[in-house]
């Protein structure tokens, strides 16, 4: 990898990680719903999904998703349906809070992974952003994509995890209040529903 391109990429990736977006809001919602441990696991799942997107882009498969509208829309609507299911689950928890157990780490990881993986906007962003820092004359393009992907994934894991930990600590400190827990369910459900709406109206351009 070109050291100068790498030096330019790191602050750009950090700025990307610090920009509030769907991944950050998802980890925030998981933290509020299930606590800091679940939030960190969800953040790890999101980062794992990002690595998959980077791998697909490096292999050239991302171009298929970017240019074939049918494939794009199938993935997008799967993501919308999944987020709506998460929203309904969170809203149902406001009815009988005692019957709803917090998510375990594996469940939170899986949800974060699936939410990121079913968002085609991620791979479109990868195809637009990362190639600017790839030098084909310096060896494997796939290896460079993966190296940059690891940088983005690690930064996102740290930032999103910290946001989720903060939200989870807040939720845990107020866990004894049933009214607060109901509102947490409403807020979390609203976050997931908002992410579903955002993905549903996403333009392919």
CB 191 within 8 A of CB 29: yes
Continuous H helices in the chain? 3-18, 22-34, 36-59, 62-67, 69-92, 105-117, 120-129, 141-173, 178-200
Tokens linked to 79: 């993501």
Residue 189 is encoded by which pair of tokens? Answer: 């459900």
Spatial contact of 120 and 76, defined as CB atoms under 8 Å apart? yes
- pTM higher than 0.75, yes or no? no
Range from 25-29, 129-133, 185-189 that averages highest in pLDDT: 25-29
CA distances from 156 to 34, 82, 162, 193 (A): 20, 22, 10, 22
Give residue 22's pLDDT.
78
Helix (H, G, I), strand (E, B) or coil at 117: helix
Q: What is the pLDDT of residue 10?
A: 86
The encoded tokens of residue 73 equal 């829309």
Q: What is the pLDDT of residues 83-124, one digit of tens each?
A: 787 778 767 765 544 445 667 889 999 999 988 888 766 776
**Residues constituting the chain:** 205
Residues 197, 130: Cα–Cα separation, whole Å: 27
Helix crossing, 141-173 with 36-59: angle to 10°? 160
Dihedral sign from CA coordinates of 185, 89, 31, 188:
negative
From the centroid of its chain, how far is CA 51? 11
| The two three-digit tokens of residue 8, written as one number | 């330019």
φ, ψ of residue 38 in degrees (nearest 5): -65, -35
Q: What's residue 173's pLDDT?
A: 59
For the chain, the average pLDDT equals 77
- Tell me what the mean pLDDT of segment 51-68 comes to: 74
- SS3 of residue 104 by DSSP: coil
Residue 20 has φ and ψ, to the nearest 5°, of -60, 135
pLDDT over 90 for what percent of the chain? 16
pLDDT at 17: 80
Helix or strand or coil: residue 203? coil
């Amino acid at each position: 990898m070109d050291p100068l391109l790498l030096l330019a990429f790191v602050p750009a990736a950090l700025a990307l990680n610090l920009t509030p977006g769907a991944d950050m809001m998802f980890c925030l919602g998981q933290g509020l719903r299930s606590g800091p441990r679940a939030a960190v696991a969800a953040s790890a799942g999101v980062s794992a999904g990002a690595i998959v997107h980077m791998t697909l882009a490096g292999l050239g498969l991302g171009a298929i998703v970017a240019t074939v509208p049918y494939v794009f829309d199938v993935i997008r609507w799967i993501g919308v349906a999944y987020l709506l299911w998460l929203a309904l689950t969170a809203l149902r928890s406001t009815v009988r809070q005692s019957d709803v157990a917090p998510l375990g780490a594996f469940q939170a990881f899986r949800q974060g992974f699936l939410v990121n993986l079913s968002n085609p906007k991620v791979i479109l962003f990868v195809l637009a952003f990362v190639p600017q820092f790839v030098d084909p004359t310096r060896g494997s393009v796939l290896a460079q994509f993966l190296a940059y992907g690891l940088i983005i994934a690690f930064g996102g894991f740290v930032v999103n995890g910290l946001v989720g930990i903060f939200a989870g600590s807040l939720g845990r400190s107020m866990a004894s209040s049933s009214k607060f827990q109901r509102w947490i369910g409403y807020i979390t459900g609203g976050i997931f529903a908002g992410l579903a709406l955002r993905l549903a109206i996403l333009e392919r351009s």
